[in-house]
Amino acid sequence: MNSQGERWTTDQVLALAPDEASRRAGGRLAGPGPWSGAGADGDGVWGLCEGSGRTPYRAVVDLTGPAYRCSCPSRKFPCKHALGLLLLWSGGGDAVPSGAPPPWADEWLTGRRERAGREATAPPEGGPPARATADAEPTARRAARRAARIGAGATELEQRLEDLLRTGLAAADGAGHPSWDETAARMVDAQAPGLASRVRELGALPTAGDDWPSRLLAECSLLHLLDQGFLAVERLPPPLAATVRTRVGLTTDTAELLTGPEASPVRDRWLVLSQHDTDEGRLTARRIHLRGERTGRMALHLSHSGGGRPLEPTLPPGLLLDADLAFHPGARPLRAVLGEQHAPPVQGPMPSGCGIDAALRAYGEALCDDPWLDSWPVVLADVTPIPADGESGWQLADADGESALPLDPRALPRPGLWRLAAISGGHPVTVFGTCGHRGFLPLTTWDPEPVPL
Partner 1 sequence: MTSVNPAPPAAPVAATATATATEEAATPPSATAPPAAPWSALVSAALLGTERRTPPVVVRPGRSAAAALLDAAAVSTVRRRAGLRPALAADRPAPAPDDPRPVIPPAARRRLALLLADRGGTGGSSRRGAAPDLTELLPQWLTAAQAHGYRAPEALLPALLDAARARTDLRPAALALAGPRALWLARFHADWKFALRATDARAAPGAEDPGAVRRLWDEGLFAERVALLTAVRRSAPDAGRELLADTWPTEHAEDRLLFLDALREGLSPSDEAFLEGALADRSRTVRATAAELLSMLPESAFAARMADRAHGCVTLVPGTAGPSGPRIGVAPPRTCDEGMRRDGVTAKAPAGRGEHAWWLGQLVEAAPLRRWSERFGGRAPEDIVALPVADGWRTELHDAWCRAAVRQRDPAWARALLGAPGAAPEDTGGASGGSSRDPAKLLTVLPSGERAAWVAGFIAAHGLADAFRMLGVCAVPWAEPLGRSVVDALDIARDAGSYPWSFSGVMGLAERCLDPAAADRLDMLTAVTDEPEGASPGAGGYWAEAFQRLVGTLRLRATMLAELADPPDPGSPAEASAPGVPPVSGTG
Measured from the CB atom, the residue of 239 and 310 that comes closer to partner 1 is 239
- Considering only residues 333 through 352, tell me which ones interact with partner 1, judged by CB under 8 A: 348-352
Q: Where are the alpha helices (DSSP H) in 3-126?
A: 10-14, 20-28, 80-90, 103-121
Residues in binding contact with partner 1, number by CB under 8 A = 113
Given 15, 16, 34, 337, the residue binding partner 1 (CB under 8 A):
34
Instruction: Return the SS3 of 92.
Output: coil
Report which residue type is found at 428.
Answer: P
Given 340, 392, 409, 412, the residue binding partner 1 (CB under 8 A):
392
Among the listed residues 64, 67, 59, 110, the one whose alpha carbon sits nearest the alpha carbon of residue 88? 59
In sequence order, which residues have a C-beta less than 8 Å from that of residue 319 and are 6 or more positions away? 12, 271, 272, 345, 346, 347, 348
- Considering only residues 52 through 111, tell me which ones interact with partner 1, judged by CB under 8 A: 52, 54, 87, 90-93, 95
Measured from the CB atom, the residue of 139 and 228 that comes closer to partner 1 is 228
* Interaction of residue 229 with partner 1, rule CB under 8 A: yes
Given 386, 411, 441, 443, the residue binding partner 1 (CB under 8 A):
386
Query: What does the alpha-carbon distance between residue 38 and residue 431 come to, in Å, rounded to a whole number?
Result: 37
Q: Which stretch binds partner 1 (CB under 8 A): 3-11, 133-141, 194-202, 336-344?
A: 3-11
* Interaction of residue 255 with partner 1, rule CB under 8 A: no
Given 134, 136, 140, 218, the residue binding partner 1 (CB under 8 A):
218
Q: Which stretch binds partner 1 (CB under 8 A): 10-18, 70-78, 108-116, 258-266?
A: 10-18
Given 127, 174, 237, 261, the residue binding partner 1 (CB under 8 A):
237
CB of 217 to partner 1, least distance (A): 5
Given 284, 395, 434, 444, the residue binding partner 1 (CB under 8 A):
395
Residue 9 gets which letter from DSSP?
P
- Considering only residues 267 through 326, tell me which ones interact with partner 1, judged by CB under 8 A: 271, 293
Query: What does the alpha-carbon distance between residue 441 and residue 432 come to, in Å, rounded to a whole number?
Result: 9
Q: Which stretch binds partner 1 (CB under 8 A): 133-141, 252-260, 303-311, 427-435?
A: 427-435
Task: Give the count of alpha carbons within 13 A of 413, CB side only.
Answer: 1
Question: Nearest 10 degrees: CA dihedral of 243, 244, 246, 248?
Answer: 160
* Interaction of residue 356 with partner 1, rule CB under 8 A: yes
* Interaction of residue 16 with partner 1, rule CB under 8 A: no
* Interaction of residue 207 with partner 1, rule CB under 8 A: no
Given 136, 217, 302, 412, the residue binding partner 1 (CB under 8 A):
217
- β-strand pairing of 429-436 with 375-386: antiparallel
Q: Which stretch binds partner 1 (CB under 8 A): 58-66, 107-115, 181-189, 355-363?
A: 355-363
Given 405, 411, 441, 443, the residue binding partner 1 (CB under 8 A):
405
* Contact call for residues 300 and 276 (beta carbons, < 8 A): no
Measured from the CB atom, the residue of 285 and 350 that comes closer to partner 1 is 350
Give Cα separations from 137 to 132, 143, 144, 149 (angstroms). Answer: 9, 10, 11, 19
Given 33, 203, 209, 238, the residue binding partner 1 (CB under 8 A):
33
CB of 304 to partner 1, least distance (A): 25
* Contact call for residues 299 and 282 (beta carbons, < 8 A): no
Query: What does the alpha-carbon distance between residue 431 and residue 417 come to, in Å, rounded to a whole number?
Result: 11
Instruction: Return the SS3 of 25.
Output: helix
* Interaction of residue 132 with partner 1, rule CB under 8 A: no
Q: Which stretch binds partner 1 (CB under 8 A): 121-129, 188-196, 246-254, 419-427?
A: 419-427
Among the listed residues 68, 53, 57, 66, the one whose alpha carbon sits nearest the alpha carbon of residue 29? 57
* Interaction of residue 167 with partner 1, rule CB under 8 A: yes
Query: What does the alpha-carbon distance between residue 318 and residue 316 come to, in Å, rounded to a whole number?
Result: 6
